[in-house]
A and B are shown apart, each in its own frame.
Chain A
Amino acid sequence: MHYGYHIEIDEIGAWLPLLLPILILHLILFSVALVDLLKRDQSTDYKWLWGAVIILVNIIGPILYFVLGRRQRSDAPTSSKSTPKKVRKS
């Protein structure tokens, strides 16, 4: 969202209670996505790419990561890693 250029500092104060939930929600998504990305065993390239998406794209970025970025492991039918893991899990 874009709030324009001529914003006064006291106007921000008036808006803050309304914007605070957005900030908190964004922070939650953002941090969970980043922590999850850092914990996974993926190549450095992959982490940099998705890290950039998570940090730079507001709100949508972490969600894109959750939907598309984590898919690698479970969805690839030819990967040899996925099948034994799934079977062991259940």
Chain B
Amino acid sequence: MNRFTVLLQKEWLDAKRSYKLLWLPVVFMFLGILQPLSSFYLPDILKMAGGLPDGMTITLPELTASEVLASALTDQFDQLGLIVIVMATMGIIASDKNNGMLAFILTRNTTLVEYLLSKLVGHAVMIAGSIFLGFLTAVFYTFYLYQAVSVARIAAGLGVYYIWCLFMLTFVIAIGALLSRTPAIALLSIFVLIFLKTITLLEGGFQILNPAHLSNQAVSIITSGNVLPHFFITMTVSVLLIVFCLIFATSYLSRKELPSM
């Protein structure tokens, strides 16, 4: 376990040096601020930006506080936030591969599993912190501009949402093990993750196997306090997919990376 903590310390140092520790939370805090503020001030913003043409009226829906929070999750965190998470994690394996760090680490007596786990845990903690801080600002703004929402619901929704984020992370790690060019990794993972997210709009039975459906579950938990049907199946499938991605990354790297280097 000692080697694992050393690897974790290396991750921590790397995150500090690349300022990831700074900008990842800040981006999510921006995203968290943006949604309550823009949905609260949308009428004012429309009016000040020149107003609507004469005779044109639109009715803006009256949003409740929990709906605003839920839309912060789906509109901001699931789109820009997803891209930001992928951009933050796209290089974590590929850059080590390219500059020889991976081969260097593996010639010491560490195992590949320890290496991948340190990557996963380090970034999972960082993403958890960022999402928590970002959502905390969203919650503060919503409480200030609208009214309070039950904190237990928010915590539960965020916890469910975090599983989907973990899936994003492990997916990027698996793709990163597979490919070695960071733009390709970013493009492929963003494409697949956004595709998964988009097909949750289609109602259908296959949704229960889709990890992206967890964000809809989180929205439902925050807005109504109830989960959508088949919650536990989706949860189990997502956890299994996470484990599968990790096993895939480990086996691919151990077969592919070591002999060639």
Contact = CB atoms under 8 A, between A and B. Distances in A.
Contact of B26 (A6, A25, A67, A77): A25
Interface in A23-68: 25, 28-29, 32-33, 36, 59, 62-63, 66-67
B10 A25 contact: no
Contacts of A4: 45, 47-50
A13 interface: no
A56 to B, nearest CB: 18
Contact of B18 (A7, A62, A63, A66): A66
A9 interface: no
B196 interface: no
Nearest to A74: B95
A36 B101 CA distance: 24
Interface residues of B, number: 35
Contact of A90 (B47, B104, B137): B104
Contacts of A63: 23, 27, 84
Tell me whether chain A's interface is mostly helix, strand or loop, or mixed.
Answer: helix
B49 A5 contact: yes
B141 A18 contact: yes
Contact of A6 (B29, B48, B91, B95): B48
A65 to B, nearest CB: 9
Interface of A: 1-7, 18, 21-22, 25, 28-29, 32-33, 36, 59, 62-63, 66-67, 70-71, 74-77, 82-83, 86-87, 90
Interface of B: 10, 18-20, 22-23, 26-27, 29-30, 33-34, 37-38, 45, 47-50, 84, 87-88, 91, 94-95, 98-101, 104-105, 137, 141, 144, 182
24 contacts: A1-B34, A1-B38, A5-B49, A5-B50, A18-B37, A18-B141, A28-B22, A29-B23, A29-B26, A32-B22, A36-B19, A63-B23, A66-B19, A67-B87, A70-B18, A74-B99, A75-B99, A77-B98, A83-B100, A86-B100, A86-B104, A87-B100, A90-B101, A90-B105
